[in-house]
Amino acid sequence: MPPRMRLLFATMNVTLFVIAALPIYRELSQRNDIWWTPVTMLVPLAEAGDRVQIYLRREPLAAVLQTGHLRMGEGDGAGVVAASDIGLRFNNWDRVRGGHIVLLLTCAAMCGVTAVVFLLVVTGRLAYRGEVTR
pTM of whole model > 0.85?
no
Closest CA to 70 of 46, 62, 53: 62
- How is residue 54 annotated by DSSP? -
At residue 114, the pLDDT reads 93
Using one digit for the tens of pLDDT, what is the confidence trace for 23-67? 999 888 877 667 777 788 888 877 877 778 888 888 888 888 888
Closest CA to 52 of 17, 15, 92, 99: 92
Q: Is residue 95 part of a domain?
A: no
At residue 79, the pLDDT reads 78
Closest CA to 107 of 26, 40, 7: 26
Q: Is residue 3 part of a domain?
A: yes
Q: Is residue 96 part of a domain?
A: no
Q: Is residue 82 domain-shared with residue 46, that is, in the same domain? A: yes
Closest CA to 93 of 48, 46, 44, 27: 27
Using one digit for the tens of pLDDT, what is the confidence trace for 80-132? 777 777 788 777 777 677 778 888 899 999 999 999 998 988 887 776 666 67
Q: Is residue 50 domain-shared with residue 85, that is, in the same domain? A: yes
Q: Is residue 97 part of a domain?
A: no
pLDDT band per the 50, 70, 90 thresholds, residue 20: very high
User: What region does 88 belong to: left with phi over 0, alpha with psi -120 to 50, or beta?
Assistant: beta
Q: Provide the residue range defining the domain that includes 79.
A: 37-90
Q: Is residue 84 domain-shared with residue 48, that is, in the same domain? A: yes
CA distance readout (Å), 70 to 5, 10, 59, 61, 77: 76, 68, 12, 9, 14
At residue 57, the pLDDT reads 80
